[in-house]
Amino acid sequence: MKKVLITGGAGFISHHIIAHIIKNTDWQIVTIDRLDISGNLNRLHEILEQFSIDEKKRLKIVFHDLKAEINSQISSEIGKPDLILHLAAASHVDRSILYPMEFVQDNVVGTVNLLDFAKKLDKLERFVYFSTDEIFGNAPKGVSYKEYDRYNSTNPYSASKAAAEEFCVAYENTYKLPIYITHTMNVFGERQHPEKFIPMVIQRVRDGQKVFVHSNEEKTLAGSRHYIHAQDVADGLMFILNLKNYKHQGDFGNASCPKFNLVGPEEIDNLTLAQSIAKIQNKDLIYELIDNHSSRPGHDLRYSLDPGLLKSLGWEPKIKLTKRIEEVVNWSLKNKHWLSQN
């Protein structure tokens, strides 16, 4: 029976991964969380309701802030995991612009402290670092970044994630840690923080409020993304973990650390997305296009990742984006407490 350590377990993506692992494996799970604005134990409470008492017992929560090293006491509580999934991160772009050093501490120092813990484990099978599409910066029309394309961080958040990613590559090269890196973009799903775009639009459409949509300077073109449901991220992650002794083939410089883009099934602009959310609710969309980049430097109009590598290996999301959006809208309207900022 494997033991997996998941950081940020009460966070949005992590709690979906925990549910997926409990449902599909017999693994023991230890999660580290400090329970700040991103972490919410109610997420774990709700997902655990579907499981038996014995299944619930497979999850252990350890309270720890990764800005501090993992000392002997915390290490003893964690035990010796076979797998480490590092998802804990500060991820609010606006806050990173105001307080960049916080993101250095959370995302870079926190990652290095976890890597230092990992390098002491004798039989670690895999360390997976969850990075972001934002490290590549704005994607011009027609461009989708591959796993080993150059970084072009446009805000302190993405710079901190890129720096942590480079530390992972360095620890594989220096200490031979078995590291995989994933890039995800615009993950959505049930129990997401209400400040994020999709739950925000659901709430504003429901309440007849105006939706502000990020656009170009001329306010003629809405920003676009490849949205992916958190359950698809969990499914893709398990596919990656089941790749035995994978070595990337191709021209990617001198990097040795395997990287994978976990990409949603299709690209959609945010105005079309908002309109579809309104249509599901049988309501009109009240909206305004705003030049977000001029008013909020560091926000890019378009991000895009190339899904080709994982597709060639046999994985892509199984459910269409329109179906996933409809599921999340209907679930959120029935569970309205997750749409509240309070």
Residue positions annotated with a catalytic role = 157
As a whole number of angstroms, the distance between CA 133 and CA 161 comes to 10
The per-residue DSSP string of 284-327 comes to: PPPEEEEEHHHHSTT--SB--B--HHHHHHT---SS-HHHHHHH
- Helix (H) or strand (E) holding 91, with range, is none
Query: What is the dihedral sign for C-alpha 121, 164, 150, 234?
Result: positive
As a whole number of angstroms, the distance between CA 340 and CA 203 comes to 8
As a whole number of angstroms, the distance between CA 3 and CA 12 comes to 21
| Total residues belonging to the chain | 342
As a whole number of angstroms, the distance between CA 9 and CA 13 comes to 8
The token pair at 51 is: 């499981």
CB 129, CB 293: distance < 8 Å: no
